[in-house]
Amino acid sequence: MSEKIKENSIIKAPFLPELARVIKFSQKDNFYEIELVTEKSNQYFKKMLTPEDMAKIETLQGELLNLNKNPEEFFFLIEAYRIRLAYQFDPLLAINVSQIDPLPHQ
């Protein structure tokens, strides 16, 4: 279970009041140390967990996309959002980006 928990993962556990984002996770001798921030109330928790506690944790979302490392990934992500939302502002988007010149009779 510990290999699934990474920084920026969102987890759910019975000992947490709500969903939480992992800030730091490390394995010690016989226990695990985890630092969390809850999603809604923004509360900070630092807990020592046993292997039994680790079995109760459910990972809901993996590691977030890190846009600091690869500028090309960032560009593609922003471009995808731009295209996804462009139709709301330009009803003729398909014609404008298709590089087709409509003739007067069309």
Look at the pTM and tell me if it is higher than 0.75. no
Q: What is the pLDDT of residues 49-82, one digit of tens each?
A: 998 888 889 888 655 555 667 788 888 888 888 8
pLDDT of 82 reads: 81
Give the whole-angstrom CA distance, residue 95 versus residue 106.
12
Q: What is the pLDDT of residues 19-53, one digit of tens each?
A: 898 999 998 888 899 999 988 888 898 999 998 88
Segment 97-102 shows an average pLDDT of 70
pLDDT of 46 reads: 92
Burial class of residue 69, CB neighbours in 10 A (0-12, 13-18, 19+): exposed
